[in-house]
A and B are shown apart, each in its own frame.
Chain A
């Protein structure tokens, strides 16, 4: 045990004497959260729109009221013809236009059915689809209220309701992703790179020629980076809850436990990489290709999994990130507890056990 403590001490000295790397490792999570939160945010507030109201009755007025009272839109003009709308698009004055048909109110009353036309500027597909969703949610709201207000006759039949993330805040989607990336970068990448560095400089040979247990050398590498990434995780959670108002509906202790388990999975992957790579470049490439890219692409963090081809959906299952992101979203947003997410935990823990036992086998084989 004394030897392990000494090796840990040595690792911490390495980390603290390499100020630039330490600064990078600690600042990276903060920078990432702020960057995603403020700039890459897919939320749009006060998008400039135009409304062409052919009907000009009390219901159409109520609908326009609804649109402008939502935070999503800022109605900048009320054109009278469709050519005017065209002109506004060309001037780049508006992002979206809504056309309310003639006889809006009477169609609603008599036929319980009407059509609102939405014209998008699809030169930016992303923004257009987000704005479309916003319009849809406003229309739904409007329908619901209209249906409540009539006591006779048939109500509208559309009943879609957004249960979680009802105001479609994208921060909820990327915070789990960033936590995942940080844990992988710090725990797996940093520990495997520094271990490979020792192989390059020959200090590893010195350690292995001593009677010290090899497992101590590897554990000693991994633990300090686990501690650092745990601190980073807490910082990310604090920023996302207090700056971006992300809900934390589940137990904070359970959330941290979840993070620790995922950290173990990431660390075990780092151990595996360290044992198979002999140079820092190897370690970096393997982590990037084998863990980092799949995490970005196949975890559902940036790109929704269920819109991917079946092959990739199946492939996503073998990477730990998907399971962790599912679990952390459930815990933070839905407030799920152990009994809801234990299958994910079991998968993550199982992966850690597998990675650790493979790397122990490899360690024994080497030298």
Chain B
């Protein structure tokens, strides 16, 4: 799916990430953890091609991301569902329109997928808020809507950046359950979080690998969790 080989990324000054190699196999479940500012978001951005590696090779679906033009990147993003830390909604559109946005921009007829959309909204428990604007939603509702938007294209990979950052523990568990369900349907999942409780909760439900970024490098975290 997504493969990184000896990848480094530097912001102007120093290197944020260096010598990172990882292969996301189909159907795998990964947690990405590490202190704030360690580069978790940057790592995910490399995976969904918002940033390009300073050195090394990043491949998405077997293609070198640096060799892709902007249209190819756009098409590949339709195969990667991303739950952003700050959700990134269009504030003038309703929740259902926001969730359907990936369909819209892919040129699909949203009215044909209405059933699909309704199923998805009820799966994340937002049927009654479908017509609300993003600003009218609570933090947990926004995160669930973001998750629904991430999976509406039925992507092969779901990347979630701190999906439980702004929500209480009950809601965190509920979001986790949704992500585990997706994994059981065969999706590759990667969750960036610094919430160790979430990781512990997941361990009982799914065979998850935990990766830790520290000192610019990616390590496989042991059983210390």
Q: Do A and B bind each other?
A: no
